[in-house]
Structure 1
Amino acid sequence: MAVCTPVSRAQLEPWLDRYDCGRLLALEGIPSGIENSNFFVDTERGRFVLTLFERLAFEQLPYYLGLMKHLAARGVPCPDPIADRDGATLGRLNDKPAALVTRLSGRSDMHPQAPHCAAVGGLLARMHLAAADYPGRLPNQRGLPWWVETTPRVLPFLRPDAAALLRDEIAVQQRFAARPDHAALPASAVHADLFRDNVLFDGTRLGGVIDFYFAGHDTWLFDLAVTCNDWCIDDATGAFVPERLDAMLGAYLAVRPLEPAERHAWPLMLRAAALRFWLSRLF
């Protein structure tokens, strides 16, 4: 999407008056992004990112901003929403919900190696532990109910073999989710979209995690599976690269060892994570 809703200096300057950020020095649209309009904002007192939300409703956003605030307060390197003088982290600009957050250093590395995967694995485990007491509650908006709802809408466009595979996998995941051991898996607010483009690096030094706007309540194991399925595969074949997978899982487990039920559920959770993003690409 890049920048869908433009913002000029003349529009932003009076909006920034609500914040203790000082005078606006620079405003630059961010070309990447598919869900929101984002801008780099430099002021006399810091560097920030301004987001105008193009699809999410105003009422949904306090959950996501609250989660980032919660994690940042616990030492997780993620954007920290900035409150205005009235204590609000969410406002409106150009008829869109808008928020200002701290800007992290680094850039995405789309060709990660084992050290990158280890850094992400350790950070993900710390994020899960830090989110355990987050009081906000919002179901994963791309979880099983969405899979079941979306499947009939994409089936007519699939080859018979792909359609059969999708039907079978939905049935498998419905049975999996109904099992008592699935209900007992550790869960909290999770990122749910921790792909390579949502982590910033400076070399192999991790700068932080961005884009929490697909977050929701789900199992920690699902979040780990989503992350492994992106960071640890060979792009040409889709197969896991052992060195990267071992690095990510080793770093994660060093912070938070898996429970026996999680180890048992791991193969099906990898399939669940793959299904979620297969469906979103089809849709």
Structure 2
Amino acid sequence: MSVFTKVSHKALTAFLEQYPLGALIGFQGIGEGVENTNYFVDTEDGRFVLTLFERLDHDDLPFFLGLMAHCADRGVPAPRPLRAKDGEVLRELCGKPAALVQRLEGASALTPNTAQCHAAGEALADLHSSARSFRLTAANTRGRDWRVATADQVRPRLPPEAAALLDTALAADEAARWTALPQGVIHADLFRDNVLFQGDQVSGIIDFYYACNDALLFDLAVTVNDWCFEQDGRLNRARYRALTEAYCAQREPTETEQADWSGVLCAAALRFWLSRLYDWHFPRDGDLVHIKDPTPYERILRFHTGGQPLSL
């Protein structure tokens, strides 16, 4: 959620005239995140989030916006896209595809307790269950082919020890039996800053713009890697038990998922190490651009490749 495209007061006012939302009160750019331009927008009728899609085009967006509405209809606390006066949810602003969604109440728990980890595991399982009936599909743009291609781009910029780790992680990724794992719609980016809480209860799941069809276990691995590891690469076992037990209580893992869990955890860590390495070495222009340090994911990868396999 960086700001790559500046939106003027005049342009936003004209944009909002397409919606039945009353007059603009104020707006503010959101600096977190790395992919799209986002603003908080306040009008006479409420509080919203405006997203300008920097890389996705009009053909990509019905999947994401439709999934958010589908999940919200089924009780998942996802932000519902707003329909303009003509009934459409997708518009254009500053030459970019744009959409308004509800701004959900609550705040992220950047140092979650075990109750919040338990709630996050339940919420992920609920999302997977609710999304089963969603009929649109989308490939994972950060899938294995992307991971291999991006590894080739960043490898020349890595010191020998990191390059060796990269090759070990790629081998683990290749060994995972991806097609044998249960598939479905996944969030693919359920980091702590994409889950909102009121107390210990999940009040919002946001930023669906990496959602896709892939192995459900990969989604759990992405979530575990962010929620259950400390910045120094140590596993917080209490958080790990709380999150995985809550998820598995609603969707019992198959034998193949249990056997391939370590490799999937490694692949999920590799995905975010690579994206952060790429952004670090090939930064994009923009205001309030947030480039995340790749080091924490290098540490998580070292844990997963260090002979300390985790079990579900």
Q: TM-score, normalised by structure 2?
A: 0.84
Q: Which residue of 1 aligns with 2:259?
A: 264
Equivalent pairs: percent with the same residue?
Answer: 50
- For the 8 Å contact 2:26–2:41, the answer to whether it is kept is yes
Considering only aligned residues, what root-mean-square deviation do their CA atoms show, in Å? 1.7
Paired letter, 1:168: T
* 205, 215, 222: which one aligns with 1:219: 215
Paired letter, 2:202: L
Q: Which residue of 1 aligns with 2:29?
A: 29
Matches within 5 A, 1:189-200: 189-200=185-196
C-alpha distance 8-161 of structure 1, shift in aligned 2 (>3 A): closer
**Unpaired runs of 5+ in structure 2?**
279-312
C-alpha distance 164-4 of structure 1, shift in aligned 2 (>3 A): closer
Matches within 5 A, 1:111-260: 111-177=111-177, 182-236=178-232, 238-260=233-255
C-alpha distance 14-158 of structure 1, shift in aligned 2 (>3 A): closer
**Partner Cα distance (1:225, 1:33) in 2:** 20
Note if 1:277 corresponds to 2:264. Answer: no
Paired letter, 2:88: A
**Unpaired runs of 5+ in structure 1?**
none
> What's the CA shift for 1:96?
1.3
Provide the secondary structure at the position in 1 that maps to 2:106.
coil
> What's the CA shift for 1:86?
2.2
C-alpha distance 2-175 of structure 1, shift in aligned 2 (>3 A): closer
Cα deviations by residue, 1:178-223 (Å, 9 ceiling, x for unpaired): xxxx323221121111111111123323221111111111111000
> What's the CA shift for 1:258?
1.6
- For the 8 Å contact 2:63–2:137, the answer to whether it is kept is yes
- For the 8 Å contact 2:176–2:264, the answer to whether it is kept is no
C-alpha distance 229-33 of structure 1, shift in aligned 2 (>3 A): closer
> What's the CA shift for 1:31?
3.1
Cα deviations by residue, 1:234-283 (Å, 9 ceiling, x for unpaired): 222x1221110111012112222222222222111111111111211222
Provide the secondary structure at the position in 2 that maps to 1:132.
helix
**Partner Cα distance (2:116, 2:231) in 1:** 16
- For the 8 Å contact 1:188–1:220, the answer to whether it is kept is yes
